[in-house]
A and B are shown apart, each in its own frame.
Chain A
C-alpha cells in the first residue's frame, strides 16, 4: 500500500442505494424509516438482508442506535458503528466500510439513516450539550457558528450576501428538476436577500431545510459488485479530518478540514478537481459549499463567492453542484451526509431523470459535521 494514501482504491463499490420518505414521513418512528430505506437499497443491490454483516448508522435520537437497528433488522453484524461526527458520519462510514471489506473482515456493508424531526419532533434533551464556554452568550445553534465563519469570509475576501444567495438559488434550480425535492417553488436572489435575518449575515433562506428523510447504501467488494443488477459505483478515495468541536476553537474560520480530507481523497483516487463532473457538497448553510469549493481545490481560497456567481453552480452552469437540490432545497433531517452519496450514485448510474448530467464519470461527495468541525470526502466513479 502506498504510504500516506492508505485506501483500497476501486476495491469496493456501492451496489445499492435508496431514499425514502423525503419531505414528510408522519406516523412512524425514525428507525422505521431507516429500516425501509435499508430494505429498498438491498433490493436495489439484489442482496438479501441476511447477507449484511456490517451495519453503519447514526440514529438521530438514540446514542446506542447501532445496536438498536441491528436488533430491529434481525441481523448479527461483525461491525456495528454509530459514530458521532454529525452529518459527515456517512462519508466516514464509506471509508471504514471500504477498509473492512478490502481487509476481508466483512463481505457486505449496509449504511442506513432515517429521521423525521418535522413530523415527529425530537424530545427536548438532545445527545449533545452546549459548551459552557459558549452557551452564556446565547449563540443560536448551529447557525450563529456558521454566521461567525461567514462574517470572517466576507471580511477577508469580499464575499457578498448576493453570492451567498446564489448558492440557495442554484440549489432551488436543481430541486425544481427533482420530483423528490421538498422545496420546489421558485426562489430568486432578491427573495433570499429580503428573507428574515436570523443570525447576520445569514437569513432563513441561507439555512438548510429541517424535514424528514431516510436513505441507505449497500457496499461490497468489486468482484461481487460485478454480479449485482445495477452498475456498480466504485469508491476511489475516502478521507476524513476533524479540526475542532466548537466554532471558538476552529483553527482558521475560513479554511476547513476539507483542505486535508479532500487532498488525501483526491490523491488516493489519482484524480483532481478538474476531473470531477459532479460535486455533492454538504450545504447546511449557503457558506458551506463556498468553503468546500475552495478547500477541495475547485477554486483558490477566497474565490468561492465569485466562483458561484452568475448561476455557475445552477443547472446549465460551469460545475454541477448538489443536483438533488441539496440540504437547502431537497432534504435535511438533521444529518444529511448519506443523501449526498445517494445522489452521486444516481447521477453516475444515469438514473437522475430530468436533472441527469449528460456526462458523469466522477463525483465527489463531501460531508460536514458539527460546526465545520468534521470533514469527510469520498471520491466515486463509474
Chain B
C-alpha cells in the first residue's frame, strides 16, 4: 500500500514536487491518497509536477503590523489539481487571480521537526 503523505514529504525533502497520476485514467491527484478520487483507481504512480500554475483565489491575512501580513492562495496546477499555498517574492498588490506562478521548495531549516518545512510555495513565473 502507498504511504501517501509520507512518500510525498520524502520527495519534497529531496527537492522534488511530485504528483500522483493514475496509470489507467491518466488523472492527476493532489493531495496524495491511496486512490484517485471519483474513480477509486488505485494504480497511482508518482510523477514530477511541472511546477507551473495560476493563482485561482487569494486572500491576505492581516496582522497588526502590515509587514507581518501574508497571502494565502489557491493555485491551479497545469496538471489539473488545485492546492493551497503562498506566493513569495511578490508585493501584495501583485498577488492577483490569474497570476502565472512557478513552484519553489523551501528546504528544511533548523526546525527539522516542523511539518511546515520543507514547504511548497510559489513565486511569480
Residues of B within 8 A of A (CB): 5, 31, 56-62, 70, 72-74, 82-86, 97-98, 115-116, 119
7 A-B residue pairings within 8 Å (CB atoms): A144-B61, A151-B97, A199-B59, A199-B60, A247-B84, A248-B82, A253-B57
CA distance A198 to B82 in the complex (A): 24
A201 to chain B, nearest CB (A): 8
A149 within 8 A of B: yes
Contact at B83–A133, with CB atoms within 8 Å? yes
Of A133, A138, A197, most buried by chain B (CB within 10 Å of CB) is A133
- Across the two chains, which residue of chain B brings its CB closest to A148? B57
**What B residues does A144 contact at CB under 8 A?**
59, 61, 72
- A-side contacts of B98, CB under 8 Å: 155
Q: Are B85 and A137 in contact (CB under 8 A)?
A: yes
Q: Is A200 an interface residue (CB 8 A)?
A: yes
Closest to A134 in B: B84
CB-based A-B contact count at 8 angstroms: 71
Q: Are A136 and B116 in contact (CB under 8 A)?
A: yes
Indicate whether A198 sits within 8 Å of B97 (C-beta atoms), given known contacts A133-B83, A136-B119, A148-B57: no
Assess the B82–A151 pair: CB atoms within 8 A.
no
Q: B12 CB to closest chain A CB, in angstroms?
A: 11
Size band of the interface chain A makes with B: 20 to 34
Q: Mark A165-198, 1 if CB is under 8 A from B, else 0.
A: 0000000000000000000000000000000111
Q: Tell me the minimal C-beta distance from A161 to chain B in angstroms.
A: 13
Interface centre among B5, B60, B70 (most CB of A within 10 A): B60
> In this complex, what residue of B is CB-closest to A150?
B59
Q: Is the CB of A137 within 8 A of B59?
A: no
**Which one of A149, A197, A198, A248 has the highest number of Cβ atoms from chain B below 10 Å of its Cβ?**
A248
| Interface residue? A28 (CB, 8 A) | no
Residues A151 and B84 in contact, CB atoms below 8 Å apart: no
Shortest 6 CB-CB distances between A and B: which pairs?
A147-B59, A136-B116, A148-B57, A200-B60, A248-B84, A133-B31
How far is the CB of B27 from the nearest CB of chain A, in Å? 14
The verdict on A104 contacting chain B, using a C-beta distance below 8 Å, is no
Interface positions, chain A 304-341, Cβ under 8 Å from B, are none
Contact assessment for A152 and B62 in the assembled complex, using a CB-CB cutoff below 8 Å:
no
A158 contacts B by Cβ under 8 Å: no
- Complex-state Cα separation, A200 to B97, whole angstroms: 13
- By the criterion CB–CB under 8 Å, are A137 and B82 in contact? no
Query: Once the chains are docked, how many angstroms separate the CA of A134 from the CA of B73?
Result: 10
Neighbour of B59 across the interface among A133, A151, A155, A249, CB < 8 A? A151
Interface of A toward B, CB cutoff 8 Å: 132-140, 144, 147-149, 151-152, 155, 196-202, 246-249, 253
Q: Are B97 and A152 in contact (CB under 8 A)?
A: yes
Whether A139 lies near B84 (C-beta < 8 A) is: yes
Query: Among A132, A149, A155, A199, which residue has its beta carbon within 8 angstroms of that of B115?
Result: A132
Give the shortest distance, in Å, between B125 (CB) and chain A (any CB).
Answer: 19
Closest partner residue, chain A, to B114 (CB atom): A136
Contact B72 A137 (CB under 8 A): yes
Q: Are A138 and B115 in contact (CB under 8 A)?
A: no
Cβ–Cβ < 8 Å partners of B60 in chain A: 197, 199-200
Give the complex CA separation of A200 and B61 in angstroms: 7
Closest to B118 in A: A136
Complex-state Cα separation, A148 to B55, whole angstroms: 11
A139: chain B residues at CB < 8 Å are: 59, 61, 72, 84
A155 near B97: Cβ-Cβ < 8 Å: yes
- A135-B115, A139-B72 given. 18 additional CB < 8 A pairs? A132-B115, A133-B84, A134-B84, A135-B116, A139-B59, A144-B59, A144-B72, A199-B59, A199-B61, A199-B72, A200-B60, A200-B62, A201-B59, A248-B74, A248-B82, A248-B83, A248-B84, A253-B74
Contacts of B31 in A (CB 8 A): 133
- In this complex, the member of B61, B74, B84 whose beta carbon has the largest number of chain A beta carbons within 10 angstroms is B84
Nearest-CB residue, chain A, relative to B75: A248
- A148 CB, min distance to chain B CBs, angstroms: 4
With the chains together, A247 CA to B85 CA distance in Å?
12
Known A-B contacts A133-B31, A133-B84, A248-B82; A140 and B61 likewise in contact (beta carbons under 8 Å):
yes
A140: chain B residues at CB < 8 Å are: 61
Instruction: Knowing A137-B84, A138-B70, A197-B62 are in contact, say whether A152-B116 is a contact too (CB < 8 A).
Output: no
Closest to A246 in B: B84
A198 to B86, CA, bound (A): 17
Task: Specify which chain A residues have a CB less than 8 angstroms from the CB of B72 in the assembled complex.
Answer: 137-139, 144, 148, 199
**Cβ contact within 8 Å between B74 and A199:** no
Distance between Cα atoms of A137 and B97 in the complex (Å): 18
Chain B nearest CB, measured from A370 CB (Å): 15
CB-defined contacts of B62 to chain A, threshold 8 Å: 196-200
